[in-house]
Amino acid sequence: MGQPLLLNPRTLLLLMVDGTFLWLLSLARRGTAKTVMARGLHAILPPIDVVVGSMANADPACPEEWEDGLAQRTEYDSDGIVKTQVVRSPFVQIPLGVTEDRLIGSVDVEESVKTGVNIVEREGISFKHPCKPLLIATYNPEEGTVREHLLDQIAINLSADLPMNFEDRVAAVGIATEFQEASNKVFEMVNEETEYAKTQIILAREYLKDTTIGREQLKYLVMEALRGGCQGHRAELYAARVAKCLAALEGRERVGVDDLKKAVELVILPRSIINENPPDQQNQQPPPPPPPPQNEESGEEQNEEEEDQEDESDQENEQQE
């Protein structure tokens, strides 16, 4: 309630389509349902297919990523296919106030997330296993700020700290009270929508493998990142990935205009900084942003039209001579 960007279904489903680096950071003050949002995401995560006997939920389709020793103890059926089982996606809640050494010990979390492999070395023991987590971080700005280098590595950084009108507050209290009194009834009420969301995520993951983004569309994202003063290249890289996920959610193989606009809104705008103009440029208006291109084909058609116009002008000049 009162969180249009954060609680937009398409925004939340993005995290489930591509969990490689599309992380979500929710900024909001206390009592704004940040934790409820995270648990709600876990509810719509579809189950995963893992290798039987794997302690790290190894993907049967990626044997090169299996943990140490799993290949030697893998079970096979009569057809020689690796035995698998469908399990619910794990969900880990980190307790408040926990120290880093008590939580992860010597594990390099940043390196594990970047490489997709977690290496555990402790008391002469060395063990590695696949690690592809989906990070959902929430924090209250009253308790401190997040370091800039950490914010830069999070793809989607949204604020849920928005004012709520009277109707939204009444609706929030109503659904919360109903859930406390009869949670099973609420689960049954949203069961159909939950199953639909799971199916949509599974299909989008398959569409994403074939979804493409044109070069002109990448130029548009880069230009928007430059206009916003974004440092580095993560803004346009994440925005391109978000645009492809949005297209995959719609079952399309090509990124469209709306996908680009939404990617700019979710990724580039939160990273933008305000640059002070020099005194002689204070009264000058910034140039308007170019319209996002549809796809590569539209750019090629435009180039062909320009070439035809040039040929016609050349012919007219020859006739005049």
Q: Say what the pLDDT of residue 105 is.
A: 66
For 3-19, the pLDDT digits (tens) are 444 446 677 788 788 86
The model's pTM is 0.69
| Residue 309: pLDDT over 70 | no
Query: Residue range 128-138: average pLDDT?
Result: 75
The pLDDT-based confidence of 90 (bands split at 50, 70, 90) is: confident
DSSP secondary structure letters along 171-219: HHHHHHHHHHH-HHHHHHHHHHHHHHHHHHHHHHHHHHTT-B--HHHHH
Give the residue ranges of DSSP H helices in 70-165. 100-103, 109-115, 148-152
Query: Residue 248: pLDDT band by 50, 70, 90 thresholds?
Result: very high
So what's the pLDDT on residue 287? 43
**Mean per-residue pLDDT for 94-112?**
70
- Contact assessment for residue 134 and residue 113, using Cβ atoms and an 8 Å cutoff: no
User: What confidence tens digit (pLDDT) does each residue in 41-82 have?
Assistant: 788 888 888 999 888 888 888 888 888 888 888 888 888 899
> What is the token pair recorded at 258?
């709306």
Residue 318 or residue 126, greater confidence = 126
Please say if the pLDDT value at position 178 is more than 50.
yes
Please give the pLDDT value at position 162.
Answer: 65
* 8 A C-beta contact, residue 153 and residue 234: yes
pLDDT band of residue 21 (cuts 50, 70, 90) is: low
> How would CATH label the architecture of 9-47+88-164+174-207?
3-Layer(aba) Sandwich (3.40)
Residues in the chain: 321
The residue extents of the domains of the chain are 9-47+88-164+174-207
Rounded CA separation 203/292 (Å): 26
pLDDT at 24 over 80: no
116: Cβ–Cβ under 8 A, 6 or more apart, which residues?
A: 20, 65, 130, 131, 132
Task: Write down the number of H helices and E strands in the chain.
Answer: 12, 7
pLDDT at 252 (0 to 100): 92
Say which residue, 183 or 258, is predicted with more confidence. 258
Closest to 247 in 3D by CA, of 216, 211, 222: 211
Q: How many CB atoms lie within 10 A of CB 14?
A: 26
Backbone angles phi, psi at 183, to 5 degrees: -65, -35
Whether the per-residue pLDDT at 179 is higher than 90: the answer is no
**pLDDT tier for residue 275 given thresholds of 50, 70 and 90:** very low
Secondary element (H or E) of residue 228: none
What is the pLDDT confidence band of residue 260, given thresholds at 50, 70 and 90?
very high
As a whole number of angstroms, the distance between CA 278 and CA 282 comes to 6
Residue type, 296: E
| pLDDT > 90: percent of the chain | 17
Contact 109, 132 (CB under 8 A): no
